Amino acid sequence: MPPVLQPIKPFRCTYKDCSASYDSEKMMKSHKKHSDEHDYCPVCDEDFDSYEDLAQHKAYRPDNHGKACRVCGEEFKSESGLKRHIELNHKVDQKLTCVGCNGQFYRASLLIEHLEFGHCRIISTSQFQGHIVHKHLVDQLLHNGPARSRFMEKISKYDATQDTEEEGGISILDQDDSGMFGKEKYEAIRPDTPPEENLVVHPGPYPPLPPSTMMSDITSQFSKTSINGGNSETGTVVGSEDTGRQAKIWGTRAARTLFPNAKPTPPPTPSEYSISQHDQAMETDHGINIMKTRFWDPLSQEWNPDRFYDSVVNMYFCPFICEQTYSIPADLNRHIIQDHRITRVKCPGCCKPFRSVTALMAHCESRGSRCSVNKAYDYGMFVDKLSGGFLGVVEKIRPDHLNNKSVLLTNKETGRPEFYTPPVASYLQYEVTKPADYKEPAQKRVEAAPANKGHTFGVNIRPQW
């Protein structure tokens, strides 16, 4: 048993693992206050087992510690100073997943950098820029009445030339034809029928079986079909793993023999209640959907320059608000790609220009800057427009401030006990979203032939939009 050290001086440190002793109590408290190994509150003269317990103690004792941070225990005189300290020094990490490659990011500016500078293998830089341009164009068309009217004028000539009626003419069922036709009766038109000699009538409820020669052919086909994975000459082997095609019970020849007049299975057609049919009907009745359609982008499959062709002046109008006209679609495509791409962005709060969307996003994400754009009421709309629809933002309470209990303290002014609740700090939670005009890419992967050494090379093809 090790010997117990006896204090040489009368005032020993109150921590059980500390053997220091001093001549006076004041020196002992000063030791606990300035020691990095002791979590001690000099104001309340209390010892704590951990620094977290000391920080929580300060946060719930405003009578002695003012406004204290419950994370680090630093004290402030005002609630605004406390919240600013938390926003600058105790940021909450984000959990953002790229919609293209599923990459993980803990800051919104890092996700924007990933998309803007071509680090994503699915979403290219031009596609990301296109989503931003689309947001700006739709915003101008929806908030500017004359611009919207002028845009409808540009596409009205093209929509007028599209005939979506399956049957023309005027319906006579809605008219009053009692006096036109009188009481004369007309016989209904009968369908065409084949000659009587070509019809084969079966006396019974079922058609007769095929002749014996045909049955022998069918029997021979079934004999060549293996259920256990054996060899088959003409039929498809059931349970075989050599091919990836779906197994069939009959071979091709047997199916044709059993059902000689059978029609092929028609391809599946979309239901009239499907989303695609609804969108097509809405486009037919009301025109293109500017929210979901890349009607302006020459790099998109939905681009149709004939929508903006004016046959009166024989010119193509620009879909944007610049009112430029061109004689051929190639010049119009070049104008849109070169002149309507975003090269610089500006903060709407402090009007500071930035050369990239990533720099502006980092400026907005830093809540400690002098600019207060991230505290505006429409900041979520601005983030959605800035990111091209890939980001949204919601203000939430910090996770460590959710369980905010109240304590009973004595008011120094009135002398009465009152409940006190520490101030709650919030943060901006960014969320990954998909733009309305986003199309899932058809990603392809082609494997090349093996090289001389037996290696297989994978060739990644850019997704087709």
Domain boundaries, the chain: 17-89, 107-159+291-390+435-465
Looking up tokens 């084949």, which residue turns up?
Answer: 194
Per-residue three-class SS string for 130-143: HHHHHHHHHHHHHH
Spatial separation of the C-alpha atoms in residues 113 and 398, rounded to whole Å: 26
Q: What is the pLDDT of residue 261?
A: 76
Spatial separation of the C-alpha atoms in residues 26 and 120, rounded to whole Å: 63
The amino acid sitting at 229 is: G
DSSP letters along 413-457, please?
TT--EEEE-----EEEEEEE---TT----EEEEEEPPP-TTS---
Q: What is the pLDDT of residue 413?
A: 77
* Total count of residues recorded for the chain: 465
Q: Residue 12 is inside which H or E element, if any?
A: strand 11-12
Token code pair at residue 427: 């943060």
Reported as a single tens digit per residue, the pLDDT across 433-457 is 999 888 887 654 333 334 333 333 3
Q: What distance lies between CA 231 and its chain's CA centroid?
A: 50
Residue 428 bridge partners (DSSP): 395
Do 28 and 38 meet the contact criterion of CB atoms below 8 Å apart? no
Enter the DSSP assignment of 124. Answer: -
Q: What is the pLDDT of residue 422?
A: 79
Spatial separation of the C-alpha atoms in residues 361 and 396, rounded to whole Å: 19
Spatial separation of the C-alpha atoms in residues 69 and 81, rounded to whole Å: 10
CA-to-CA separations, 431 to 107, 135, 383, in angstroms, rounded:
11, 18, 11
Do 357 and 116 meet the contact criterion of CB atoms below 8 Å apart? yes
- Mean pLDDT in each 10-residue stretch from start to end of the chain (465 residues)? 64 81 84 82 83 78 76 81 82 89 92 92 91 91 84 76 56 53 60 56 61 60 52 43 47 70 70 70 76 88 89 90 91 92 88 91 79 88 93 89 77 79 84 89 45 34 37
Q: What is the pLDDT of residue 361?
A: 92
Enter the DSSP assignment of 369. Answer: S
pTM exceeds 0.75, yes or no: no
Largest CA distance in the chain: 132
Q: What is the pLDDT of residue 70?
A: 79
Spatial separation of the C-alpha atoms in residues 73 and 51, rounded to whole Å: 8
Q: What is the pLDDT of residue 111?
A: 94
Strands of 161-224 (E only): list them.
Answer: none
Strands of 285-388 (E only): list them.
Answer: 309-310, 315-317, 325-326, 345-346, 353-354
